Structure 1
Amino acid sequence: MKNIKLTTEQRNPLSYRIDTKSTTEILTIINKEDHKVAGGVKPAIPQICNVVENVIKAFNNGGHLYYIGAGTSGRLGVLDASECPPTFGVSRDLVKGIIAGGYEALTRSIENAEDDGDAGIQAVKDVNINENDVLVGISASGGPNYVVEALKYAKSKGAAIAAISCNEDTRSFDICGQENSIFIHVGPEIVTGSTRMKAGTAQKMVLNMITTTAMIKTGKVYNNLMVNLQPVNIKLIDRAINLIIEVTGEDYKTSEKAFYDADKETKTAMIMLMLNVDANEARKLLSTNNGSINKVLDERGVQCNIS
């Protein structure tokens, strides 16, 4: 078998003869193996931290975070990117997932797309990647030409680059260097080579960590509350109003009025009520403090009353 040295391509002795097991036994084996994923991520926190710091810098300088991958890895990048606008109220272009084979590959497998290095280069050219941006290459094996060539090109343009892989000593790691190479050791898969399983779960965990931490550090979260959410439906409007109640201590009617007076801007409504200012003044305060409620309150000498 080609690339048999790759951990993710080896057989897992704990799942030998899994085809003879009962349904409950199979599920138990899968669950037991999945428990290894979080433990595999923990040793990579220093490298993940380096990547997050680069992402924060990019966001503060008007840059972007791009994920690039093929197959499952590419889909995970698109998934994480697509959740950022509704969760954190950011533009759709701030975080973007690029997948080998294009968006058609989101719903069907295009296996040979990962081998096309020129397409990887073109994909990052198409987003005009530059020195203000970050490109994270995602792949279980760490070696698809599509990802590797994209990373090389992005590096040549001065972008910060990083790679996520479930194998050591990969081509993508060689390009990114040790500090920005996120190795997640999860071992062989239950079904040999099926990296949509533990490897995919591990990659998604890391992507969650990168975007969530970067958004927290750039003022999109207050305390542990999702204050930058986009209230685009009834459920989210109710959530936003309840967040205002939680933060300000005001009743529902007062919080609802502030929410609509602020044109459904949750953070603006919070500042209005906490500092007794109008919507325009609240927006100015947030704008001059990088959208951070904490910084606005510190500037005004007001303490947070929620735990």
Structure 2
Amino acid sequence: MNDYFIEIYPNCSYFSFYRNIKIENWDKTFLQVVNRLKTFPSKSRRGYIINPIIGPDPITGSSRMKCGTATKLLLETICLTGLLDMYHSEENIQPSDLMRCYNIVNKAVYKVKQELCRIVEKAGQCLRSGGNIYYIGDDSLAIMGLIDASECPPTYGATLDDVRGFVANGYKTLQNVEGDLSHLGEHFRISHDNFCTDISPTDRDILIAINCDIPPAISTKCTKNGCRMMLITFKKVEGKDFTHPLYIEDPTTEIDELIGPETRKIASQMFREIAVKCCLNAISTGAHILKGKVYRNIMIDVKVSNNKLFHRAVGILEKLGQMSKTKAMDYLLRSIYNTDEVSEAMNSRPITQHIAAATELEKVVPVALVAAVTNTSIADAKVALSKHSVIRTAIVQALKNIS
């Protein structure tokens, strides 16, 4: 280990769940790295394992809700504490103070859980009816929407249109190193202007404004076509345009008592980002559960788009299909390569090639599961799935063969 770096691992599962599987182009498995971290003395400061276990991660096994949030909290707390220590050392702000502030913000979100539940319900109705969810905003809060939308395809097998995010001035606000990427395709077009030219909202869709006024051109378009407009805001608003305004009150008094008003002003956008992230994660997760993308708390339509999700797909087939790992792998490859007989050449390919072949495909795991438990061909499994608008219903029907 390089002495200039410290390993920090936000742990989302019990240690027994970790895979001792070779990672291509690396000389260690994930389990080996975690075991090495466990050997460090608690005061060595060479590495840390953050192992909260309790949190939203058990809901559909979606690590974005806990480890993603934990990573953001860690980075912001580390960086802000360092900057304050360097330029405002008289404030004597401790990392624990900032963590308590985040906890206060979290409680502020929970105070509006009933209003949030109503938006989740509408979002689920939207996806079930074939509609789309659009996030729109002006600043870094809108970037939370872009991130949430980007997580839906790999997590739930969603299309790139199911949940999309748009931000004022597009890539100028994003400030990414590569600059404007809108020329790469329609799903790289993320500005408000792009929404106006590219999107034709319908009465099945919903638009969620994130602490911003909706541009008149977009508002007019949505109103004309019956698209419902909702709002997540940190300021009280009055108006009939929003069907479900969600007002989160900034807990300024409580935060000021911990870190003072000046530091609170510096960190206020970070706190709001966490609040928005919690809301959007709840909306997109709940919507996909209501759409039928989850069965027995398992993401049954996970997109096989990386190494972690490839092995997760195998595990889902093992667990739900009550089959061996070898059989689960075989049926996963059958589904990926659209064949009823996996050749030796296919079997010997590295996992990266399997992932490359699977990434653009839909319903890889459901097809594999239905084919395995009903002992049918891949083609027949696809036909069986096509007869059900809700994937969970098709899975329940297929699993009756092994119950």
TM-score, length basis structure 1: 0.77
Report 1:193-208 matches (<5 A): 194-208=267-281
- Opposite residue 72 of structure 1, the aligned amino acid is S
Higher relative contact order, structure no. (Cα contacts within 8 Å, ≥ 6 residues apart): 1
Partner of 1:7: none
C-alpha distance in structure 1 between counterparts of 2:206 and 2:402, whole Å: 34
Report 1:161-180 matches (<5 A): 161-167=229-235, 169-170=236-237, 175-177=241-243, 180=244
Partner of 2:202: 130
2:90 pairs with one of 11, 20, 25: 20
Report 1:237-256 matches (<5 A): 237-256=310-329
Partner of 1:229: 302
Is 1:258 the counterpart of 2:331? The answer is yes
Partner of 1:67: 135
C-alpha distance in structure 2 between counterparts of 1:78 and 1:41, whole Å: 20
Report the 3-state secondary structure (helix = DSSP H, G, I; strand = E; otherwise coil) of the residue aligned with 1:230.
coil
- Opposite residue 157 of structure 2, the aligned amino acid is G
Shift in Å, 1:133: 1.0
The higher radius of gyration belongs to 2
Is 1:282 the counterpart of 2:381? The answer is yes
CA distance change for structure 1 residues 30 and 205 in 2, over 3 Å: closer, same or farther? same
Aligned residue pairs: how many? 268
- Opposite residue 285 of structure 2, the aligned amino acid is T
Indicate the RMSD between aligned Cα atoms, in angstroms.
Answer: 2.8
Report the 3-state secondary structure (helix = DSSP H, G, I; strand = E; otherwise coil) of the residue aligned with 1:238.
helix
Partner of 1:98: 166
1:83 pairs with one of 132, 146, 151: 151
Partner of 2:286: 213
CA contact (8 A) 1:166 1:184 kept: yes
Structure 1: give runs of 5+ residues left out of the alignment.
1-14, 109-118
Shift in Å, 1:131: 1.5
Partner of 1:113: none
Report the 3-state secondary structure (helix = DSSP H, G, I; strand = E; otherwise coil) of the residue aligned with 1:98.
strand
Partner of 1:5: none
Structure 2: give runs of 5+ residues left out of the alignment.
1-83, 177-190, 256-262, 337-357, 359-363
Partner of 1:159: 227
Shift in Å, 1:297: 5.0
Partner of 2:120: 52
Among the aligned pairs, what percent are the same residue?
22
C-alpha distance in structure 1 between counterparts of 2:89 and 2:222, whole Å: 44
Shift in Å, 1:300: 5.9
C-alpha distance in structure 1 between counterparts of 2:205 and 2:195, whole Å: 14
TM-score, length basis structure 2: 0.60
CA distance change for structure 1 residues 126 and 301 in 2, over 3 Å: closer, same or farther? closer
